[in-house]
Structure 1
């Protein structure tokens, strides 16, 4: 009788996990033995609930406008997933990888392709790599860069994860020795959706197979004017948010070998965003107020949220100057104070951003959003809904 109760209890636990955490929770007829076997699988899915997006950007001549839009719209993608939920309550992590192709400065042996960044959830690093891109003439091999990203990146095997490629360029999709059909077929087998963004005339993109490349994986084909100037609407809340971002940076407590370098990187990416446009700096600040901006590898405040965090285990030489010579109790108090201060600032930024978005919605003219922003965010929302993602209002 005891064994029967244990089996029933395990079965109920598995059923609860399956219906409350999986992105594709569907009612199935299944045995108690199957449910028991699913307990660990579903725990793994919950812990590994990750959105993986690979950006494959053409960096040949004439693509400066595309790169600039990508730099600006990164924060729109991040802010979109801040409000995403998978299944009932699970909030996904976000990882972005970056490739460039079609650039003469790249190796011809590699097909003029370079992995600029492996999958990463480090938002400062993603921004840094985007800002490092420059354009130069070259050969654009779409099939090859798709295939390369499928081979080099760890896409995982969790069927509930949302896995997407966005490839953007302006030359025929058919260029190169590797047939694009083989590449996108491989993507479909890996449950990776390929979305194509043709920088030019819509019909031209269809004729040069960009639409066919997307269609074969259930992805979306989009044509954009990559040189279109993005019109940002100034709001009464922008300056306040930027000032709060400066205060937010002061709540970070660097530690370890990465600490000082990453603090400087944080400031550099703030500057990069601001120099593009004030509105981009505001969007980045909003991203920094979200759960997706996490820096536990170098910041003691974020590190303190980890279950295994223990101040006493941190070597004193790894601490910043302000905490050297302090007792463990004093360090813990200092971290707690900075954490409370950060939460307050982040809450203020989010509240101001709600007002900012309402102001923009009221004053924005039709079609004034960035071309790349419209294309990517619309595709993301539609494809995410197929994996049972939903968006908080």
Structure 2
């Protein structure tokens, strides 16, 4: 049996207003002083970050938990998209590690950083679905310490800084004492949350609860082999049709634009591979402020006031746009932006009915990864003035 944790989805993942479902400004900002396309990002001093480091054990006893993570990713993202923090903006960042796999370097403690802090939901989904399991050694203290030292944690304590780790082997394994790693985390205002895959009492006896207690984090015990039940609703087909329309509003650009557009479609397919209801959950995530693709999509890029465009690299645009003039391209982007906002609003409206249907027709799951993750984030977020409403 091995240690592991995850999540997904999420996203989550782009700078948004505190209410991630607030309708964005419809104005498209273009500047034309320079002869090349520039996309810059400014740091907003009023931003409050939610930083989550997910430490995934990819040993072969964790297949069930990985499946839960894949199946529950988008519902987790959706719930987090309701985050608010007064008048502050929120930036959600996810980092991903794998460990406990014999295929990883032994000199590194069988640990690999899969992704540093990222707000790219498609990349997170891609890496999650690419994980494979193998036997190995699971060193909780070591992987926690590595994530603390390698990642770009915010220094200001107003931010929410969380580590999640799950598994079913003793928390004491490995060359580095988990108490030292947890003490270091506490000094940096990083909270460690532990999820034991098995009996609640057994997790306590194997020091999983103590690992969380040192930083005043949450300890949970779950059934990691429980299959995720997706409830179909009368609104699913409508939302999936809206997803097809939403995808048609994306305009790729740049060296990796076409590849990123393909990645988006692949992650739609990955979600669908678990069920149509899971694909619906991903579509809802794509209607939220967490799902932004400024690095490759002209619509998202043009919403940034710092975005400048004079000449778009014609050979890095879709074939049907390469012949358009600058004015025609700007008009086309504006039209697509308006269409996207309308589609996203329709998705949100239909999803409200879907959510109510699920509340009326499904039992609350309280023994899975999604519940353990969200309960901890919300509880610790409230201590720093974050709230969640939907």
Q: TM-score, normalised by structure 1?
A: 0.86
CA contact (8 A) 1:45 1:160 kept: no
Shift of 1:73: 2.2
Q: Which has the higher relative contact order, 1 or 2, with Cα contacts under 8 A spaced 6 or more apart? A: 2
Match of 1:259 in 2: 257
Per-residue CA deviations over 1:264-308 (Å, capped at 9, x if unaligned) read 000000000100122221111111001110001100000110112
**1:373 matched to 2:375:** no
Shift of 1:366: 4.1
Shift of 1:228: 0.6
SS at match of 1:63: helix
CA distance in 2, matches of 1:45, 1:201: 44
CA distance in 2, matches of 1:193, 1:169: 17
**1:242 matched to 2:203:** no
Structure 1 stretch displaced more, 255-264 or 241-250:
241-250
CA contact (8 A) 1:69 1:370 kept: no
Per-residue CA deviations over 1:6-34 (Å, capped at 9, x if unaligned) read xxxxxxxxxxxxxxx9xxxxxxxxxxxxx
Q: Which has the larger radius of gyration?
A: 1
- After superposition, residues 231-380 of structure 1 pair within 5 angstroms as 231-367=229-365, 371-380=368-377
- After superposition, residues 195-206 of structure 1 pair within 5 angstroms as 195-206=193-204
Match of 1:62 in 2: 61
CA contact (8 A) 1:231 1:370 kept: no
Match of 1:82 in 2: 81
Of 129, 133, 136 in structure 2, the residue corresponding to residue 135 of structure 1 is: 133
Shift of 1:370: 6.4
Match of 2:387 in 1: 390
Match of 1:29 in 2: none
Per-residue CA deviations over 1:30-57 (Å, capped at 9, x if unaligned) read xxxxxxxxxxxxx8531x4221101111
SS at match of 1:312: coil
CA contact (8 A) 2:51 2:92 kept: yes
**1:50 matched to 2:49:** yes
**1:211 matched to 2:209:** yes
CA contact (8 A) 1:141 1:175 kept: yes
CA contact (8 A) 2:221 2:367 kept: no
CA distance in 1, matches of 2:336, 2:289: 16
SS at match of 1:332: helix
Match of 2:21 in 1: none
CA distance in 1, matches of 2:207, 2:245: 49
Per-residue CA deviations over 1:189-212 (Å, capped at 9, x if unaligned) read 111100000111100100000000
CA distance in 2, matches of 1:364, 1:325: 52
CA distance in 1, matches of 2:363, 2:389: 24
Match of 1:72 in 2: 71
Match of 2:220 in 1: 222
Q: TM-score, normalised by structure 2?
A: 0.87
Per-residue CA deviations over 1:227-256 (Å, capped at 9, x if unaligned) read 011222110011211121111111000001
Which is helix-richer, 1 or 2? 1
CA distance in 1, matches of 2:105, 2:88: 42
CA contact (8 A) 2:71 2:228 kept: no
Aligned residues: 349
Over the residues paired in the alignment, what is the CA RMSD in angstroms? 1.4
Match of 2:90 in 1: 92
Match of 2:27 in 1: none
Unaligned runs of 5+ in 2: 1-17, 19-42
CA distance in 2, matches of 1:195, 1:177: 21
Match of 1:168 in 2: 166
